[in-house]
Amino acid sequence: MAENSIIEVKDLTIGYGERVVMRNLNFSVKKGEIFVICGGSGCGKSTLLKHLFGLYAPMSGDILFKGKSMVNSSEGEVAEMLRDMGVMFQGGALFGSDTLLENVMLPMQEYTDFSPELLERSARFKLALFNLSGFEHFLPSEISGGMKKRAALARAMALDPEVLFFDEPSAGLDPRSSASLDQTILDLNASLGTTIIIVTHELDSIFTVAQRVLFLDVEKKTMTALASPQELKNDKSNETVWNFFNREPF
């Protein structure tokens, strides 16, 4: 296990059926860092993210979480690892027939033995952290897009996870809401030391929050760069990466 890493990816190949999406992935995510996965459309960013939190099984290779294999562990052991992970899916993925309070309580009901009173109090506290006090009994359809993102983040933080995964968090947001979400990500990382892994192609967000960026090349079907966003913007040795970070047209 690489020193100070919380997730380590070893010789990973991912895909669907027999179709390879990405191969030969080797990288680690440091404890407490904000790590961004990016690349062109269709490169497999979200697919890789879903492998990292155990939703998909890889074609080959391994993913270590705090030194333990997610691929070769039992279901019970993986469930314990998932207890330390929170996920904010693209679009929020809130349950439409449940109130915001009920949505946030769901992970607690699954992984804790909290009493009904403690469940509600804890869920209210998480919503309040993201400025959603007073909206506990609203349905997702009754709030704005930015509020849905914050509610999804409150649910992802329900169990105080060590690692937060974001899939295209700024999708569908106006520039001010997107900037506000970026600041929330920075605040969470600074105040709680939460490791945050984000899939995005939004350059403004990448330069605002990312400490390191993994670039996936859709043509080569593998990773071709791993560095800070500023380093990737200035490095002309990889034309595809340089074009992406400098918004050069095809």
- What is the structure's pLDDT at 235? 93
Task: Give the span between the Cα atoms of 113 and 224, in whole angstroms.
Answer: 45
Q: Would you mind telling me the total number of residues written for the chain in this entry? A: 250
- What is the structure's pLDDT at 166? 94
Give the phi and the psi of residue 39 in degrees, each rounded to 5. 155, 175
Residues linked to residue 54 through DSSP beta bridges, in sequence order: none
Residue 120 placed within a domain: no
Q: Can you give the CATH number for the domain in which 232 is found?
A: 3.40.50.300
Residue 115 placed within a domain: no
Residue 7 placed within a domain: yes
- What is the structure's pLDDT at 1? 53
Residue 250 placed within a domain: yes
| pTM score, whole prediction | 0.92
- What is the structure's pLDDT at 6? 97
Residue 212 placed within a domain: yes
Residue 229 placed within a domain: yes
Residue 97 placed within a domain: no
Task: Give the span between the Cα atoms of 244 and 139, in whole angstroms.
Answer: 38
Provide the domain count of the chain: 1
Task: Give the span between the Cα atoms of 133 and 139, in whole angstroms.
Answer: 14
Contact 14, 48 (CB under 8 A): yes
- What is the structure's pLDDT at 205? 95
Tell me the average confidence (pLDDT) per consecutive run of 10 residues in the chain, 250 residues long: 85 94 97 96 93 94 96 92 90 87 93 91 93 95 90 92 93 87 93 95 95 96 97 95 89
- Cα 236 to Cα 171, 223, 249: the distances in Å are 29, 17, 15
Residue 103 placed within a domain: no
Task: Give the span between the Cα atoms of 41 and 44, in whole angstroms.
Answer: 8
Give the phi and the psi of residue 249 in degrees, each rounded to 5. -70, 160
Full residue range of the structural domain in which residue 206 is found: 1-84+194-250
What letter would DSSP give residue 211?
A: S
Q: Residue 113, SS3?
A: coil
Handedness of CA 235, 236, 238, 242 (dihedral sign): positive
